[in-house]
Structure 1
């Protein structure tokens, strides 16, 4: 009986290992690194929230009611918060655990929608991030949005979707880095 349990356990373990895994996307946008600091070690506390309605980062529609959601390999909110912190550090801000100046990043949308037909695909990518800068008395709120559409003659790979989403996230991070209104508010109120 013990041998039978051992053999059946091994078979279950082997079948679990050999089952196909769902594809996942690696989200790793590079921050916009500044060569000239805009702040002189001004302290800022960075927080983030993921306010997306769904946690997947891509949806592939192959027609015939065959829709496949694709998840990210890591937490998108954490990855974006880390990129934003590195970006702020390069701009001369000092990110600390607690300060009067708080910058909150709300992730509102980060999604690639792919529609496949017999001989082509269309890929629509959307990113929306809201930043809230607050010192307890004054508040600055702004949304940063990015959209792109690409078409191809073959099916879209996971790598194509990763490139589309990472490129758009980097473009939105670059918009944040270049936003003079945001920098002015942070320098005057933090």
Structure 2
């Protein structure tokens, strides 16, 4: 079982990396930079397992120079969408791109003037059609016989959005001195402070 899972990971990652569209990532980067220049903000949302990806990506972006806010995908239509202003960017994550609760949230946010960066495995998904920029996080197999519990889909969503975070980080010319301002704690912060004092 372990060996077949390992091979599945390697195969699916190779396929997924091949389907990542660098042009779409560049468009997402430019949308975020322009939104910030106009005074807007970035929010990240998802339902189920993608909500955990959303929390991580919001934290990663914030720590590398792009202040970002987690938006609860179900609470958004019960008042929490008030955190999103017209002109803000919302990164929405869904493996299928058809999760009804998330689509309802995205339709609400679009009606309120938000711009959407959608992340799903299909370019023809409803989420992709609702998005201003669509990012492909394609997986065919999750790594087990059921092929239902999210495993590899979560991994690929993270990789796609990590690539976006790198583009933004490079655009901001992030330095260790800048990074330690936002991450002074833990082993990472300690190593950066020691590096500064050398």
Taking structure 2 as the reference length, what is the TM-score of the superposition?
0.30
Greater C-alpha radius of gyration: 1
Taking structure 1 as the reference length, what is the TM-score of the superposition?
0.31
More helix by share: 2
